[in-house]
Amino acid sequence: MDKIKMRKTYHLNLEWKFHLGDEPRAWQKGFDDKAWRTVNLPHDWSVEQPFDKKHSSGTGYLPGGIGFYRKQFFLPKELEGKRVYVTFDGVYNNSMVWCNSYYLGKRPSGYTQFIYDLTDFACFGDEPNIITVKVDHKDIADSRWFTGSGIYRKVTLTVTDHIYIDHYGVFVSVEKTDQKSAILSIQTSVRNRTGESAQIIIRNSVYNAEYELVATAEESVVVQGDEVVTGSQKIKVNEPNLWSVNTPYLYTCKTEIEKEGMVIDEKQTMTGIRTFAFDAKKGFFLNGENMKLKGVCVHHDAGCLGAAVRKKVWRRRLESLKKVGCNAIRMSHNPHMPELYDLCDELGFLVIDEAFDEWEGVKNKWAQGHNVYPPAHYGYYEDFPDWHERDLSTMVLRGRNHPSIILWSIGNEVDYPNDPYCHPNFKTTTGNNDANKPAAERQYDPNKPNAERLVTIAKKLVSIVKKHDQTRPVTAALAFPELSNLTGYADCLDVVGYNYKEHLYEEDHKRYPDRILLGSENGKELEQWLAVKDKEYISAQFLWTGIDFLGETQGWPSHGSEAGILDIAGFEKVSYYFRQSLWSDKPMIKLFASYDEPRSKYYLYNKNLVSSWNFMQDEDVYVTCLTNCKKVELFLNDRSLGSQYLKDDSRSYLIWKVPFEKGELKAIAIDEKGQKYEEFLNTGGAPAGLQMYCTDPQITADGLDMAHVIVEIVDGSGQLVSRAEDLIYISIEGPGQILGLENGNLEDNTPYALRCRRAYNGKLLIYIGSTPESGEIKVKAQARGLKSAEVIISSI
């Protein structure tokens, strides 16, 4: 091992042994696991199983159960005498961990990162180490959305000296900044496990994006044996590059611990220099600039991958959301994978990080369809009393260096009426989606917990957050602010989030003029955006949701929610382009067509709207144009069908009623500067073949990297056949693996484990994973009666 930089980090993500089912002796080091499957992490066993109506609708009709994982690894002899830690980014749920037959502990939460000290139990040299993890997710109806099952995030091993930078021990914050200079405050906690006091130097150096040294500071401190010392330093950065949503510039803070002239530990922390503020009258400011948060809520799954989502999947999704004009993400309703926050830092998204969906009172978990009684009553509430402080603290400590994070949320809709908190002042209450609620559930029930209890809990949670981070405000997403205003729950928060309560903005702003309000969860209709756009004091809208997700389904056969503007495969929906027309600063135009007359405000969510021009001759077709340009002229086979104008916010899209004839439909949009933008729909032919393309033609041969391959059904001229749903078979050759097939159709209950799936809207997405071997990966797609296609991916 390098004697200068003692900290080493190893990934423990390949070649785990897995068994689905209980095995009481599996914790023993000598247990024979040769018959178990070999899997790589991240791994979610739920999506490997078939959909079945007998399972909970809330979690996507997929099973849970009990599973065991075992990992063998070796530690070089030269590491003996060092400290060894293992970090789990997320295990769902009720995990128990052993190392070499020694029990390390448990973690009920499936979303919290946790760390175990292996030092006293580790073996070195030729003696193998065995980590065993038991996952108990037999109570599958424990959530309102799909959770996944297993070790669905990464695992790392860290080796350090006995004097080392403590876990989450570096905290970089911006004390003040302007265009000329910035003052960074850096707190460094160092732990001494030697039993003897030591004189050390704590050194922090800041590097720019080109890794050029910008500034440095150091101090000499004494750390007593078996104690922690925290050093505090100020570093001045001249002419800083400020982090923003448009220019997400990142610096690196290198922290070194020196003892007797030798660096014994080093850690690097990415950070961004920015200031932000919320104002009760003016909204949100980033680096002194007033702006609206154009946000979306996201859950943590990715369809066929379940909860075992890789970084590139989120990169593709975030890049699509960026194009729509989105600049903010709400992590609903739990801490997400660490890589997602890294991407938000890199790509320029502002983040609400959220800790809990329920506190000590159990929420309804819909098992037979959304809002279909009776519900199930499992969940985190059972663990909240003993674990909330550790779980909330971990979220804040893990995330507080991310410039993207601007708000800590302590809860989502915990004030939902009668679910479970109740109050005598509301004899008959209804929440946002209570159409099916039995009469007894709408009445005050003295046997249910009193909503005033929320105040006590909220105050404690806020104090926990502030203990670890006083640079960011605390918020929560309120389902029923009418009740929370009465009890005082809303007054516990620095920023108050309203879910689907746009009609209260004006009234509550007048009643509570010093309250900072934002929309923490919102619908996607025009009037809900105007409620934010036209009110200076409302800083944010967070759409429910950015992306379709598994679970929270209305009922069989659907296994997920279609609330997103991207479908579960990450393909754009009609509502995506509608949102782009409202949010994007760049001129855009998009055409859709349908037989259906636009009579409802929900017209844009009509699945019959297609981006094609294939209908019956002379029948009336409604052409929908989504644009942010002021004027659009429509042409059919070069014949003008007239111009229409977006004069004000009363209209969000343009409609032409057009008798169908084959050929080319063309729209020309003209922006305020007179620039022209064109969009076309062309009459296509019958499906003739498949075409494929890969967004990641070169990947790393590490068993962790991946690529996206998209298959399209096309006609003889290569045009997408948007209504095609042919069954497509996928095969692979070379050092790669098929991670999953996803088409975006939440009513397609073909088991995800199969290597065939129907196209939907003419498309199919394939996730391809690398292996530790390099070489050429050939992916082939075939469908009956259609010309096949293949792509080559280079794994190096």
Contacts of 411 (CB under 8 A, 6+ apart): 354, 355, 356, 357, 358, 359, 458, 461, 476, 477
For 208, which DSSP code? -
413 a catalytic residue? yes
Query: In whole angstroms, what is the distance from residue 621 CA to residue 656 CA?
Result: 8
End-to-end CA distance of the chain: 26
521 a catalytic residue? yes
Query: In whole angstroms, what is the distance from residue 681 CA to residue 590 CA?
Result: 10
Give the residue from 666, 644, 664 showing the smallest Cα distance to 591.
666
HEC assignment per residue over 546-580: CECEECCCCCCCCCEECCCCECCCCCECHHHHHHH
DSSP string, 614-635: ---TT-EEEEEEEESSSEEEEE
Residue type, 422: C
Encoding tokens for residue 755? Answer: 């290597």
Which residue among 266, 413, 502, 562 is the active-site one?
A: 413
Query: In whole angstroms, what is the distance from residue 166 CA to residue 152 CA?
Result: 25
Which residue among 48, 339, 358, 521 is the active-site one?
A: 521
Residue with tokens 């640079």: 471
Contact at 8 Å (CB) between 780 and 774? no
Query: In whole angstroms, what is the distance from residue 245 CA to residue 265 CA?
Result: 33
Contact at 8 Å (CB) between 518 and 539? yes
Three-state SS for 412? Answer: strand
Angle 311-324/574-583 helices, nearest 10 degrees?
60
Taking CA atoms, 248 is separated from 92, 278, 470, 546, 614, in Å, by 32, 20, 23, 21, 43
Query: In whole angstroms, what is the distance from residue 122 CA to residue 109 CA?
Result: 26
Q: What residues act catalytically? A: 413, 521
